[in-house]
Amino acid sequence: MTLTRSQFLEYLGKGIGALALAKSGSLFGSGKRTHNKPSIPSVKNSFPKFKPISASDQDSLILPEGYRYSTIALFGDRINPQGDTFGFNSDFNCYLPFNGKKNSGLLWNNHETLGVLEYYVNGYDSQKQGPNLRTDKQIEQYLYALGGSVLRVSKENGEWKMSPDSKYGRRINGLTEFRLTGPGAGSPALGNTNRAFGTFANCAGGTTFWNTILSCEENVEWVIEPCKLPNETHYGWVIEVDPFDPKSTPVKHTALGRFSHENAALVLSPEGKLVVYMGDDARDQFVYKYISKNSYDPSLGAGNSSLLEEGILYAANFEKGIWISLDLETNEVLRNSKLENGKARFTSQADVLVYCRDAAKICGATPMDRPEDIEIHPIDGTVFIAMTNNDSHGNLFGQIVRIQEKSGNHAGLEFDFEVFAAGGRGSGFAAPDNLAFDKQGNLWMVTDVSQKNLNRSVYKKFGNNGMFVIPTTGPESGKAFQFASAPIGAELTGLWFTPDEKELFVSVQHPGETTKDYQNPTSHWPHGGNSIPKSGVIAIYLK
């Protein structure tokens, strides 16, 4: 069976699942789901037909013919009666519907960084004034703009809207109090405390099986330095927030390690262990997974959060196809590792978790090309990892790697892998970042070519950052079809389908990031004219 590009577009509208599963050109075959994540009901004909768009350098959010979008929240919008406002540089989204109401629920959105657009947040010109002359007020505004937002949203008359008057509207930000959990809590490595203040650099994330959200602290050093924060070990963790309880204290789970966390992809093993796949988005850093000690118990509800407090963290060795335990008690390499002064490098598991990168490196984890988002294939359980690029190795365009755990058991310690799709002229994309699967197993991916490269030299052909759809089975497996193009300077982030997959929530992050003159920004998205650019979250209507 061979499909042409145009036939592919035809069959997108005709239930790709059955057709795709009939034949697979992949290393791993299609296989059946082997994990017992709560099953996803199959939805027929939910994948839209579309005519792929071309790369563009226009200052617009471009979609295929017949599709449209509406903005749900933009930087500065009021989100609750107390007057809290939506943060800056939107990233990860997840939508948690209220019980039994698919069109009414809570939308979480991450607020990652300020970058050169800080001027629009607190008036500080980092391009002229340098990194460290901010007033206390500017630092407070800086920290408030980061973290995440809980939005009360609903679809009315065919349009998704945010309610600014809901009790659920909430900001978690760079000043919010957190409780620490796991081996790091109260340890000397974290200053003997189980409290920390603030979350920021929140990149991607994940949802749990008990209706909470996980948000990942990534490039925290970009915030610690300009905001002159003490306690750097309090940042670089995965946080958990219960959006349905506006009074709840959010937590930082130290058992998941401290590094530049991109994401947290959760899945259950056949015996009910919670497995969390995580990328460390930096050149030559590692892929991790965490396996809980105890098993998931649906009757415990939010009590299952304790699964994220006790377990073992592993780092991937791709050459051997094994997961290496970073458990100090059982790992002799870690126990025998010494500092230059002859003292033990790690005196407790808290040390291992706080200095996770050192531990993984010492144990032989494989340096990767900026591992970003990780998602589990909804049909065959394989694990997809976006490697954005690694210019220190001449890998300019990145690739998407697909792992298959041995016997399909996510709690297993052996795996095989393939490069599923590679960036470049042939595929038409560069620098894959966030991933999402639709229920038919098609991979939706957004790109993150950096500002210094966007629309320049070897990256010029890719235009602005974009969104692509990539079938994962069948003859078109691994081929990318462009679905969206971002405004100038922006990247699209935080892909999240509504439960019926009729809409797609997406963030438009840092439009105008290439701006040098704040009075004359390079992007005017979304309002056009002479307006300043604003990041925010939108809904794309797929039908």
| Interacting residues toward Ca ion by CB under 5 A | 203, 433, 448
User: Considering beta carbons, is residue 11 or 222 the nearer one to ligand FEO?
Assistant: 222
Please, what is the end-to-end C-alpha distance for the chain in angstroms? 28
Sole binder of ligand FEO in the list 84, 118, 240, 281 (CB under 6 A): 281
- Pairing, β 503-509 against β 238-241: unpaired
Q: Which CB, 222 or 518, lies closer to ligand FEO?
A: 222
Least distance to Ca ion, CB of residue 203, Å: 5
Determine if 326 is a binding residue for ligand FEO (CB under 6 A): no
CB of 288 to ligand FEO, least distance (A): 14
Compute the least distance from the CB of residue 276 to ligand FEO, in Å: 17
Identity of residue 175 = L
Q: What is the DSSP letter of 140?
A: H
Q: Residue 231 CB, nearest distance to ligand FEO (Å)?
A: 22
**At closest approach, how far in Å is the CB of 262 from Ca ion?**
6
Nearer to ligand FEO, 42 or 392 (CB): 392
Tokens matching residue 50: 């579309």
Q: Give the one entry of ligand FEO, Ca ion, none that residue 280 binds, where binding means its C-beta sits below a cut-off of 5 to 8 angstroms depending on kind.
A: none
Q: What does 218 interact with, of Ca ion, ligand FEO, none (CB < 5 to 8 A by kind)?
A: ligand FEO
Subset of residues 370 to 399 that bind ligand FEO, contact rule: CB under 6 A:
372
Alpha-carbon distance values, 436 to 168, 353, 385, 511 (Å): 26, 28, 11, 22
Are 305 and 402 in contact, with CB atoms under 8 Å apart?
A: no
Q: Which is nearer to Ca ion, 405 or 433 (CB)?
A: 433
- Shortest Cβ 502–ligand FEO spacing (Å): 27
Between strands 251-253 and 177-181, the pairing is parallel
Query: Please, are residues 467 and 482 in contact by the beta-carbon 8 Å criterion?
Result: yes
Query: Which conformational region is residue 18 in: left (phi greater than 0), alpha (psi within -120 to 50 degrees), or beta?
Result: alpha
Of the two residues 374 and 542, which places its CB atom closer to ligand FEO in the complex?
Answer: 374
Q: Which candidate, 221, 255, 219, places its Cα nearest to that of 239? A: 255
Q: Using the rule CB under 6 A, is 203 a contact of ligand FEO?
A: yes
| Partners of residue 108 on adjacent β-strands | 94, 150
Nearest distance from C-beta of residue 245 to Ca ion, angstroms: 27
Size of the site for ligand FEO (CB under 6 A): 7
Q: State the amino acid at position 289 in one-letter form.
A: K
Q: Is there a cis peptide before residue 526, judged by omega within 30 degrees of 0?
A: yes
Residue 112 sits in the site that holds ligand FEO (CB under 6 A): yes
The residue type at 111: H
- Cα separation, 481 vs 108, whole angstroms: 28
CB atoms within 10 A of CB 57: 12
Among 59, 77, 242, 262, binds ligand FEO (CB under 6 A): 262
Out of 59, 77, 218, 369, which residue is the one contacting ligand FEO (CB under 6 A)?
Answer: 218
Q: Rounded to an integer, what distance in angstroms lies between the CA atom of residue 456 and that of residue 461?
A: 8
- Return the number of the residue (260 or 440) whose C-beta is nearest ligand FEO: 260
Write out the residues near ligand FEO by the rule CB under 6 A: 112, 203, 218, 262, 281, 372, 433
